[in-house]
Amino acid sequence: MRPLFRGPRRPAYASVGTTLIRVRDVVVEFGEKRVLDGIDLDIRAGEVLAIVGPNGAGKSTLLNVITGDAELVSGNVEVDGHAWHAWTGRELAMRRAVLLQQVDVSFPFTALEVTEMGRSPWANLPESQNDEQIVHGALARTETSHLVARSYSSLSGGERARVALARVLSQTAAAMLLDEPTAALDIRHQEQVLATARRYAATGSAVVVIIHDLDLAGAYADRVAVLAHGRIAADGPPEEVFSAELLSHVYDYPVHVVPDPITGAPVIVPIRTPKEQLL
């Protein structure tokens, strides 16, 4: 008798605070260089986690660890309580959507077609009945609805970044992992992306953002993990973690940390030499 087709295992509903992805004692090396050294990190439902740190600290490598795309010297990574290899590629795509720094498309797809790619894990499943609504909602949230007929390759860098984010939103994964999502954007769209991340987390999903802008991290993240020399130097609410002493040490540059006059979120101000003294 032929076995019944059960289809891919869907993610179960996770209450806020549940650990969706667990990283334990991870070590990664490139040649003789140890890039990550003993990393422990929990990715939790309903939370925006910002990972910050200076250039070369290992942020993008840590994202690759979280997505299951890095080769580990030691340690382990679990999603939904199981190792990455316990899931099929499609099941993983239901559990985590990844936005890389550079998103290239080899064929002349339109912006709409690129966004629709995010629905592929749900093809031929009951969830696919909502594809059109989900895709157009993602385009609206990223203000890219007017670009749907344009070739993705013809878009500006900022427009591509926003369409790529629309694709990731369309995936409706349990965790959304973003690598420098604001790098190519103006200030308005930078704020929009982080506000969108907060709304996504408010649905009960987890969001991880690799970001250089400490002010954006302080304003929008529930937690920040500060990475330095391949280790996590601090992990907690930005109001507690972002101290002038820690940041000045990690970035090897003196800073002040002051509260935003409206929100109270920490604002990082570099201590600069007056320009007259630079002549």
pLDDT digits over 145-162, tens only?
Answer: 999 999 999 999 999 999
Side chain identity, residue 218 = G
Q: Where is 245: in which H helix or E strand?
A: helix 244-251
Give yes or no for a contact between 26 and 110, defined as CB atoms under 8 angstroms apart: no
116-135 pLDDT per residue, tens: 999 999 999 999 999 999 99
Mean pLDDT of the chain: 93
- Range(s) of the chain covered by CATH 3.40.50.300: 19-80+174-278
Indicate whether 1 pLDDT > 80: no
- Please give the pLDDT value at position 6: 67
Q: Comparing 276 with 93, which gets the higher pLDDT?
A: 93
Give the CATH number of domain 19-80+174-278; options: 3.10.50.40, 1.10.3210.10, 3.40.50.300, 3.90.25.10.
Answer: 3.40.50.300
Q: Where is 238: in which H helix or E strand?
A: helix 238-241
Indicate whether 103 pLDDT > 80: no
pTM: predicted TM-score of the whole model, two decimal places: 0.93
Return phi, psi of residue 6, to 5°.
-100, -15
167-222 pLDDT per residue, tens: 999 999 999 999 999 988 999 999 999 999 999 999 999 999 999 999 999 999 99
DSSP code of 217? Answer: H
Give yes or no for a contact between 68 and 125, defined as CB atoms under 8 angstroms apart: no
Q: How confident is the model at residue 14 (pLDDT cuts 50, 70, 90)?
A: confident
Q: Angle formed by the axes of helices 131-141 and 157-170, to 10°? A: 140
Indicate whether 111 pLDDT > 80: yes
DSSP code of 144? Answer: -
Q: How far is CA 15 from the centre of its chain?
A: 20
- Please give the pLDDT value at position 132: 96
- Please give the pLDDT value at position 278: 82
Percent of the chain with pLDDT over 70: 97
